Amino acid sequence: MLAFILRRILQSIAVLLAVGLVAFSLFRYVGDPINAMVGQDTTMEQREELRQKLGLNDPAPIQFAKFIANAARGNFGLSYRTSEPVGRMILERMPATLELSFCAALFALFVGVPMGVYTGLYPRHWTSRLLQAISLIGISLPTFLIGILLILIFAVSLHWLPSFGRGQTVQIGWWTTNFLTVKGLQALILPSITLGLFQLTLLMRLVRSEMLEVMRADYIKFARARGLTNRAINFGHALKNTLVPVITVTGLQLGALIAFAIVTETVFAWPGVGQLFIQSVQFSDIPVMAAYLLLIGLLFVLINLTVDLLYFAVDPRLRGGGLARAGGH
């Protein structure tokens, strides 16, 4: 047991290092950061001098080693674009992204799962087919177009919701939250829908197919034979059994949401890490890009690790399997 956990943690660290290497060594070449740091009429000599001082002329492995050594201490250096400490820039923007991703996940869960249950229970009903077709819009149009259309309808035409930004936020320690003001909550609605629509479709389809399978399982037939009410069967037995994969997928998709927030944040000028990342790509702001990728890597690895450990705790059969797998053939 301990050995298994230890091995997974070691593997996770290896994964993180790989992510760091990939991120760093590739983005080092995205563009010449010097051009982002100086004005157009800075002389060539000044540019070269700056490049030398920043260590951009050092061999890549040395730059990477320096980067990892600093990153391990939480020091990601200064942004080339704003000369602010990268660690703080990311920390300041993290709450915006996390709150947005959280709301998008909630939206996907609380709309997607019931839709999936309904379409799974009544697969041939016309409302099911309609719901299914509508949900496909979530994966039939690019996110940026959905976002801008929502803005045009709900902000420009109807004036119901703000067109961009976080609205009003409240500061609690270093965390800024949207949840405590009406304006903040209003500002969350459109971006959350835009970001969550894709996951909603995914979840709905997953729940639907799980329900379809479960409803044909023998134990449901037995339950019916025992004379249980439809309600008890649908929610007590069927839905419960579909929840395990749903939770797994939601957990894994939370990470994907944070990464996909890049597009939504760009459209809604949402001041989160995704927008920061895309700005950094445009300005070849390597310290920020590298830190962002490491952060995303860390999140995914943590989520994966948690899911693995949860399985381990939940399903005793896996313990044997896990060890056997490790032992090889």
Say if residues 265 and 165 touch (Cβ distance below 8 Å). Answer: no
- Which CB atom, from 239 or from 271, has the smaller least distance to other proteins? 271
Indicate the SS3 state at residue 165. coil
d(CA 53, CA 34): 11
CA 264 to chain CA centroid, nearest Å: 12
Quick one: which H or E segment has residue 100? helix 86-121
Q: Among 143, 234, 242, 250, indicate the residue that binds other proteins (CB under 8 A).
A: 143
CB 109 within 8 A of CB 250: yes
> What backbone torsions phi and psi does residue 218 show, to the nearest 5 degrees?
-60, -40
Which of positions 205-224 make contact with other proteins (CB under 8 A)?
Answer: 205, 209, 212-213, 216
Give the nearer residue to other proteins in terms of CB position, either 92 or 319: 92
CA distance 190 to 104: 10
Binds other proteins by CB under 8 A, chosen from 137, 232, 310, 314: 137
If DSSP codes are grouped into helix, strand and coil, which group holds residue 32?
A: coil
What is the spatial distance between Cα 162 and Cα 268, in angstroms, rounded to a whole number? 10
Identified binder of other proteins from the candidate list 1, 5, 38, 243, rule CB under 8 A: 38
The strand pairing partners of 176, in sequence order, are 171
Residue 215 CB, nearest approach to other proteins (Å):
10
List 23, 105, 195, 239, residue binding other proteins (CB under 8 A) = 23
Site map for other proteins, 229-258, x if CB under 8 A? -----------------------x--xx--
Residue 302 sits in the site that holds other proteins (CB under 8 A): no
Site for other proteins in 78-107 (CB under 8 A): 78, 80-85, 89, 92-93
Residue 121 contacts other proteins per CB under 8 A: no
Q: Does 37 bind other proteins (CB under 8 A)?
A: yes
Residues 41-80, interacting with other proteins (CB under 8 A): 41-48, 50, 53-54, 70, 75, 77-78, 80
Of the ranges 38-46, 107-115, 219-227, 236-244, which one interacts with other proteins (CB under 8 A)? 38-46
Does 283 help bind other proteins (rule: CB under 8 A)? Answer: yes
Task: Give the C-alpha separation, 266 to 164, whole Å.
Answer: 10
CB nearer to other proteins: pick between 46 and 229: 46
- Applying the rule CB under 8 A, the residues between 162 and 191 that interact with other proteins are 162-166
Of 37-45, 107-115, 177-185, 224-232: span binding other proteins (CB under 8 A)? 37-45
Considering the complex, what minimum distance in angstroms separates the CB of residue 77 from other proteins? 6
Cβ neighbours of 82 (radius 10 Å): 15
Task: Decide: is 127 part of the binding site for other proteins (CB under 8 A).
Answer: no
CA 308 distance to own-chain centroid: 18
Distance separating alpha carbons of residues 293 and 281, to the nearest angstrom: 12
∠ CA 232-315-252 to the nearest 5 degrees? 85
Q: Which stretch binds other proteins (CB under 8 A): 98-106, 137-145, 229-237, 243-251?
A: 137-145
The distance of closest approach from Cβ of residue 297 to other proteins in the complex, given in angstroms and rounded to an integer, is 5
Cβ within 8 Å of residue 318, ≥6 positions away? 311, 312
The residue range among 98-106, 237-245, 300-308, 312-320 that interacts with other proteins, by the rule CB under 8 A, is: 300-308
If binding is defined by CB under 8 A, does position 111 make contact with other proteins? no
Instruction: Give, in degrees to the nearest 5, the angle at Cα 70 between 64 and 71.
Output: 85
Residue 136 in contact with other proteins, rule: CB under 8 A: yes
Nearest approach in angstroms of CB 83 to other proteins is 4
Q: Could you give the CA distance from residue 45 to residue 51 in angstroms, rounded to a whole number?
A: 10
Q: If we measure between CA atoms, which residue out of 153, 149, 180, 152 comes closest to residue 167?
A: 180
